[in-house]
Amino acid sequence: MKRLIFIVCAFIMSIQLIIAQTSEITGTVTSAEDGLGIPGVSVVIKGTTSGTSTDIEGKFSISAKPSDILMFSFVGMIAQEIAVGDQIVINVILETETIGMDEVVVTAFGIERVPESVGYSVSLVDEEELLDNAEPDILRSMTGKIPGVTIGSATGAPGAASKINIRGATSFTGDNQPLFVIDGVPYSNDNIATTDSDASIVGGQFASGISSVDPNDIKNIQVLKGGAASALYGSRAANGVVLITTKSGASTVGGVRKGFGVNITSSYGFEEIKSNLPDYQNKYGAGTNFEYANFNGSWGAAFNTIDSIPTPDNLLDNFPDQFGDKIAYVARPNNVKDLFDTGIIRENSINITHGAETSTFNLTMSEVDQKGYIPHSGFNRKSFALGGTAKLSEKLTVGGNMSFSHVDQDGPLFGNNQISGGASSFARALWPARHWNWTEWPYENANGEPVIPNGGYDHPLWSWEHNTNNQTIDRTVLGMNASYEILPWLTAGFNAGYNKSLQEQKTVTDIGSRGAEGLGEIRENAYVTERLESTFTLSLNKDLSEDFNLQATAGLNVSQNDVSVFKITGTEIINPGIYTLRNTKSQSVTDDYTTRDRIMGLFAQATLGYKDYLFLTLNGRNDWNSALYLPEGGVGKETTNFFYPGANLAYVFTNHFDLSDTPIDFGKLRLGWSKVGGVGALGPYDNNAVFITDPSAFGVNLIRNSISLSNPVLSPEFTKEFEIGGEFRFLEGRITLDATYYDRTTTDILVPLTVPRSTGFQTYFTNIGEMTNKGVEIGLGLIPVRINDGFSWEVFSSFTTNNNEVTKIIEGIDQYAINVNEVAFVKKGEPLGVFVGSSNYRDENGNLLIDRTTGQLIRDNEQKVIGDPNIDFRLGITNTFKYKGLSLRIFFDWRQGGDVFSNTIASLLGRGVTRDTEDREGTYIIPGVYGDPNTGLPILDDNGNAIQNTTGVNMNNLYFGESYAINSSDEMKIYDGTTYRLRELSLNYTIPSKWLENTFLTRASVGFTGNNLWFFAPNIPKYTNFDPEISSFGASNVQGIEQSAAPNPRRYMFNVKISF
């Protein structure tokens, strides 16, 4: 019996022991960002293959012993290990993984480097930042968010080109935009016009080449700002490099969630201009000096003084059955607002992914369709991208991608209506006489020609329908990459790509328009670029000893760019309503040429690391550039190749010293120097004598020399740059700081100078000048609040300031016009693009000189510096609030300085249509002293003192005479562009995963985004409501000049995102 009891007790105790050894552990894995459960988290017992994964709510259950350690891991989040002990419920919070020692920064030619080893500034923009604001233009979506990068919009027309600039300009007339490289293939961002008079006539409405890139397919963007970062691109690196990695073109196998996934995004929104229009006065109609006349300006009689006025002759002659001799003389408060529509934007995209241990696959298809607020304007982009990678063996990985996009853009004519041939649709759109009933009066006669109340412009509704700018862009991209591990520390890589872009543009000026002498005109342009790029690299990463590591890459890069341009103009449209070249009386080919240029470069880069805290990098590239091949030097003396060196040093002092007891989590100091290059405005054949065919004359077919001549020995534009900076993290990442100071000098700037035709040429290419850029860029991140229940408040500030100066121009040239129709100039001792034009006389104390007789200003027609479009600084502040599934982002932008030359402001004031001119029944004295109109000198009293002005003028003359608006000097059309702006507000909500338990969805979110919701420009006339960000010149070097451009609208977008 005793033995039986002993056996039973032993059996019970053994069962209890077994139970004590193995327990069922349950728990939930949530995200630190939003507090939501994370499905698919791997939960594995360390040292075994036993494990599970979390369900759709982030819950898990696993059998484990008290001595076991559970490992929790998920792509993009910091892994955790937790000892089981006596716990039976283990809840885990995973944080998003930030850049650390185990991650890499992708630099030039896809070279991967440990972030600590990088001795220059690199900025990263991730997918979320691009897509959350629902902006079809990837450049506008980055505005103000990257230190050192300036992005300017053009007009409010759909698809209008934006300009991006990194650390200031390096060329007077060449392209100052960075090199775009997408999945290893360069992209052209050309902004082509259908006329040689560019934005002065047709405006900056055409989209640039980068508009064909689909933001939905972008994985991330890395901006290589300085020469130290971009030096390996040699003669293409002077303006920095924007590296874009797409989901379809990513060349790595890792980092993709395993399994099959589908992500669908659908957005719908609208844009309106009403809130951004001027605030109009509605007391006075057309005329002058309080008397009615059928003029453009609203300086006439008050509306309460007369009941009716004669019907304008144009209306009466064309529509005698609709009008009597008189029409009502009443204010039309909505005669501008009612011209415009409510714009509609729709965007849909689908992204399909599949990830396995040795392969990845990605397919992205999307369409964005925008109907602009300007009638008959729109932008449509259809995109398709496919790509994948495969690890074929332990040593060989290959990948490939292809994409196609098609862009359709429709828009109106802009520009300066006063220039010969100008026919701006906005010539009167924003400043009609206050009694004009634009939308109810008929505006097209029986012949299809425009009808306006007086003369000198096209009716905007007629113009938007008949005078059009249309563009299509077709872009095809093919790419492949391969890497082979020769040895554990040596890898060979190859990347090749093909990029073809076809831009076709058509500008129609219809019969009856102010432009084309009223006869009608059609301009067509086909611009084709084909780029071939291939790069072979050998990369090694080897520990030389316990303390030293060497990472090096050497390679060969070959790039070929073919450009084909065809421009043709047809004049005098024959049959109304048929807009083909065949339907014009005469056609002339204004351009028809093909060019090819090649660049071959050998490059190398080596980074020597010491104890993970000191990293020295040396790099260099030697280019052979066909555009600079100069055979005149003779055999062995050709100037065919140029060397571009660089060096940078990174010192991670937190890895050198034990600072664990201090608030400093991470600290790195950077130092870099480089010499990079560019060719400015020099074309492939501008430095060589070429022959051109001309149409036959007198029965003889002509072949003649080019009208362009170049200096026998040209040099590239060299840019030498020094930068110093640092990166710091404090208080467990609650404070981050990235700051850089740079000093860059560009020499041998290339310019096509205009020469007398008696020389047999029209332009002469030569190196003429030097320019400097000095600046500071700061990125500051703060986390004021981060609570374990999921609430956080994060702040990121981006500060940029750049001081540009033209320091040298060759003897004999005082200044150089960037555009002969505008006030933008190159001038020694001044910033690039400085405004030079007419002004008004002043005395030695800066007081304006006043004509004693008229009380108005005295014109000084000598060309002087009158303004500077370069901003003093830009500060962007982003506040992000998160609580569980809710996220609120507010982006505020501050632009300080930067002058604007505005035809819109001058016209609004000069026509007397805004409330700025409403209080007009008194007289006004312009501050200043009396001057002699003949000599431009002040008039002095008997004591030799200047005499203060006491001669009054009425408001009509204040804004329509020699004063402050229309008819004034150029100087008086310039305003300080300081602007405070609420650029973006977004609110997103991720639906809790438990709500999706019984559905096919794994993730779902809804969101709202508002863009350009509010701005305040304190130095702009209050009621004009003019936005200083508007420019008429798109991506060109002419900035800060606005010629009757379309205002930027407010935009409101709603989106839904689902995954399954």
> What is the per-residue pLDDT across 242-255, written as a single tens digit (0 to 9) for each?
888 887 656 555 44
Specify if 27 maps to a domain. Answer: yes
Supply the pLDDT for residue 717. Answer: 87
Specify if 318 maps to a domain. Answer: no
Supply the pLDDT for residue 563. Answer: 93
Question: Using one digit for the tens of pLDDT, what is the confidence trace for 42-100?
Answer: 888 887 777 888 876 778 889 888 888 998 887 667 788 898 888 888 988 887 654 33
Phi and psi at residue 668, in whole multiples of 5°?
Answer: -140, 135
Maximum mean pLDDT: which of 96-100, 203-207, 774-778, 858-862: 774-778
Determine the Cα–Cα distance for residues 783 and 794; give it in Å rounded to an integer.
4
Single-letter amino acid code for the residue at 737: L
Element (H, E) at 555: strand 548-573
Give the mean pLDDT of the chain: 86
pLDDT: which is higher, 483 or 696: 483
Supply the pLDDT for residue 191. Answer: 61
CB contact set of 487 (below 8 Å; sequence gap of 6+): none
Specify if 426 maps to a domain. Answer: no
Specify if 51 maps to a domain. Answer: yes
Residue 185: name the closest of 740, 559, 449 by CA: 559
Question: Using one digit for the tens of pLDDT, what is the confidence trace for 513-546?
Answer: 988 889 999 999 999 999 999 999 999 999 999 9
Supply the pLDDT for residue 257. Answer: 53
**pLDDT level of residue 273 (50, 70, 90 thresholds):** very high
Q: Are 295 and 301 in contact (CB under 8 A)?
A: no
3-state secondary structure at position 232 = helix
Specify if 83 maps to a domain. Answer: yes
Maximum mean pLDDT: which of 19-28, 169-178, 412-421, 726-735: 726-735
Q: Are 180 and 497 in contact (CB under 8 A)?
A: no
Supply the pLDDT for residue 328. Answer: 94
Residue 493: name the closest of 446, 557, 438 by CA: 557
Count of C-beta atoms within a 10 Å radius of residue 56: 19
**pLDDT level of residue 554 (50, 70, 90 thresholds):** very high
476-489: average pLDDT? 93
Question: Does 258 have pLDDT greater than 70?
Answer: no
Residue that is written with structure tokens 């304007």 in the block: 377
Single-letter amino acid code for the residue at 433: A
Specify if 373 maps to a domain. Answer: no
Question: Does 8 have pLDDT greater than 50?
Answer: no
pLDDT: which is higher, 278 or 76: 278
Q: Is 333 left (phi over 0), alpha (psi -120 to 50) or beta?
A: alpha
CB contact set of 504 (below 8 Å; sequence gap of 6+): 471, 472, 473, 524, 525, 526, 527
Phi and psi at residue 57, in whole multiples of 5°?
Answer: -95, 0
CA distances to 186, 404, 481, 494, 531 from 497, rounded to whole Å, are 9, 14, 9, 10, 8
Determine the Cα–Cα distance for residues 1038 and 203; give it in Å rounded to an integer.
12
Question: Using one digit for the tens of pLDDT, what is the confidence trace for 16-45?
Answer: 444 446 788 998 888 776 666 777 788 888
Alpha helices in 248-346 (DSSP H): 313-318
CB contact set of 7 (below 8 Å; sequence gap of 6+): none
Residue 86: name the closest of 44, 18, 23 by CA: 23
CATH number of the structural domain spanning residue 64? 2.60.40.1120
Alpha helices in 539-672 (DSSP H): 653-656
Q: Which two tokens stand for residue 878?
A: 């982003």
Supply the pLDDT for residue 372. Answer: 93
Supply the pLDDT for residue 465. Answer: 94
Question: Using one digit for the tens of pLDDT, what is the confidence trace for 893-941?
Answer: 999 999 999 999 999 999 999 999 999 998 999 999 999 999 999 999 9
Q: Which two tokens stand for residue 30?
A: 């949530």
Question: Does 634 have pLDDT greater than 50?
Answer: no
Q: Which two tokens stand for residue 1024?
A: 């004009």
DSSP-assigned letter for residue 896: E
* Sheet of 92-94, strands arranged across: 59-64, 23-31, 92-94
666-686: average pLDDT? 87
Question: Does 454 have pLDDT greater than 60?
Answer: yes
Share of the chain above pLDDT 90, in %: 54
Residue 176: name the closest of 191, 197, 155 by CA: 191
Number of domains in the chain: 1
Question: Does 839 have pLDDT greater than 60?
Answer: yes
Specify if 374 maps to a domain. Answer: no
Phi and psi at residue 374, in whole multiples of 5°?
Answer: -80, 125
CB contact set of 586 (below 8 Å; sequence gap of 6+): 570, 571, 572
Single-letter amino acid code for the residue at 294: N
Determine the Cα–Cα distance for residues 626 and 640; give it in Å rounded to an integer.
7
Residue that is written with structure tokens 């080919």 in the block: 589
Residues forming beta bridges with residue 543, ordered by sequence position: 549
What's the domain range around 62? 20-94
Specify if 49 maps to a domain. Answer: yes
